[in-house]
C-alpha cells in the first residue's frame, strides 16, 4: 500500500468531503456556468468551500477540477487552459488543507464515449496525463478518478494518474439495472473493482449515482473481491427537481446514520457526493467518533 494511505488509515476509516457543485452554487455559481473556471475567476469562493470541509472534519478533500481535462474543457472553449485550471484547483485545496487534511484532486470523465468512437484511447490517455501532471504540480497529495461510467475510460485515467507516483483512487457510478448495482455500461461492482485494481488503482469504490443505502451492498461486493481499501461517496438520496433546481431530501443525520453499516460493509474512505454539505460531513464525523 502507498505510504500515505497507510498513514491515513492507521487510525480507522478516513472522512473525506462532500459535494462541491452545490456549495459553489450557494456562493453564486450560475446554473450552466462552468465551475472549474472559478479556480481563476473566483478563487476565494472555491477556497471557502474547501475550508468549510476541513473545518467540518474532512481528513481528505478533493479539488474543483472535476471537468478540467482538455476534452471536456473543449466544450467550453477552455482546452488551452487545462494546465492552469488544474494547478490552481489543486493549489487552492492545498491552501485550505493547511497541513490538517490531504488533497486528493478530482479527475472526472471526458464526457465522450470510447465505445461509440467519439474519442480515441490515445486522446483520452493524453488528456488525463496532462491533467494528472498539472494536479501534481499544484500540490495534490493523491488523485481521485471519479464518477466514471465506462471502465475503459476509468482505467486510462488510472494509468495516467499512476505516472505521477501519487496514490490513485478510482470510482465508478452504479445507477443502472433493476437493483441500481450496475454501471451505465452494465458492469458489476465486482468486475469494476477487479479491472480498476488491475489497472493500478490503490483504492477503488463508488461515488454519486444514488443514496447511501444503495452503497452498502456495493461496498460489500467490492470488498469481497479486492484487497485494496474501498472509497464511498454517496448522494444525499436521489434529486427531485424543484423550480428547475435539483433538491435532495435526505437529511445530514439520516445520511450519517448509515455510516456504521457502510464501514461494516468494507468502506475505508467515507464522504458524500451530490446534495451533501459540510453539515453532512460534520454529522458523519460524529458517527465515526462514536
Closest CA to 268 of 182, 188, 167, 176: 167
* Separation between Cα atoms, residue 2 and residue 167, nearest integer Å: 6
Question: What is the per-residue pLDDT for 171?
Answer: 98
* Separation between Cα atoms, residue 96 and residue 74, nearest integer Å: 29
Q: What pTM was estimated for this model as a whole? A: 0.95
Question: What is the per-residue pLDDT for 237?
Answer: 86
Domain 14-289, second-level architecture:
Alpha-Beta Barrel (3.20)
Q: Write out pLDDT tens, residues 96-148.
A: 999 999 999 999 999 999 888 899 999 999 999 999 999 999 999 999 999 99
Percentage above 90 pLDDT, the chain: 91
Domain spans of the chain? 14-289
* Spatial CB neighbours of 263, under 8 Å, sequence gap ≥ 6: 13, 270, 288
* Separation between Cα atoms, residue 111 and residue 75, nearest integer Å: 9
Question: What is the per-residue pLDDT for 219?
Answer: 98
* Spatial CB neighbours of 114, under 8 Å, sequence gap ≥ 6: 120, 121, 124, 150, 152, 153
Q: Write out pLDDT tens, residues 191-219.
A: 999 999 999 999 999 999 999 999 999 99
Question: What is the per-residue pLDDT for 201?
Answer: 98
pLDDT-based confidence at residue 29 (cuts at 50, 70, 90): very high
Q: Which residue has the higher pLDDT, 72 or 115?
A: 72
Question: What is the per-residue pLDDT for 241?
Answer: 77
Amino acid at each position: 500500500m502507498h505510504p500515505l494511505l497507510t498513514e491515513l488509515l492507521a487510525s480507522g476509516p478516513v472522512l473525506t468531503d462532500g459535494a462541491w457543485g452545490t456549495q459553489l452554487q450557494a456562493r453564486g455559481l450560475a446554473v450552466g456556468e462552468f465551475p472549474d473556471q472559478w479556480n481563476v475567476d473566483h478563487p476565494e469562493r472555491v477556497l471557502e468551500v474547501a475550508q468549510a470541509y476541513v473545518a467540518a472534519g474532512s481528513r481528505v478533500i478533493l479539488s474543483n477540477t472535476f471537468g478540467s481535462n482538455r476534452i471536456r474543457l473543449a466544450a467550453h472553449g477552455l482546452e488551452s487552459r487545462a494546465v492552469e485550471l488544474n494547478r490552481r484547483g489543486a493549489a487552492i485545496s492545498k491552501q485550505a488543507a493547511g497541513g490538517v487534511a490531504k488533497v486528493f484532486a478530482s479527475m472526472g470523465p471526458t464526457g465522450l464515449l470510447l465505445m461509440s468512437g467519439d474519442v480515441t484511447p490515445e486522446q483520452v490517455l493524453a488528456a488525463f496525463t496532462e491533467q494528472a501532471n498539472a494536479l501534481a504540480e499544484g500540490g495534490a497529495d493523491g488523485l481521485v478518478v471519479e464518477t466514471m461510467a465506462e471502465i475503459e475510460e476509468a482505467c486510462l485515467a488510472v494509468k495516467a494518474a499512476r505516472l505521477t507516483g501519487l496514490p490513485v483512487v478510482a470510482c465508478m457510478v452504479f445507477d443502472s439495472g433493476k437493483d441500481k448495482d450496475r454501471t451505465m455500461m452494465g458492469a458489476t461492482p465486482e468486475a469494476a473493482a477487479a479491472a480498476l485494481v488491475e489497472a493500478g488503482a490503490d483504492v477503488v469504490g463508488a461515488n454519486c449515482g444514488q443514496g447511501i443505502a444503495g452503497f452498502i451492498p456495493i461496498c460489500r461486493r467490492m470488498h469481497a473481491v479486492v484487497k485494496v481499501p474501498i472509497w464511498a461517496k454517496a448522494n444525499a438520496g436521489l434529486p427531485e427537481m424543484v423550480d428547475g433546481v435539483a433538491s435532495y431530501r435526505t437529511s445530514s443525520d439520516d445520511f450519517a446514520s448509515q455510516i456504521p453499516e457502510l464501514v461494516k460493509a468494507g468502506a475505508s474512505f467515507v464522504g458524500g457526493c451530490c446534495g451533501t454539505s459540510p453539515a453532512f460531513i460534520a454529522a458523519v464525523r460524529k458517527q465515526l467518533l462514536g
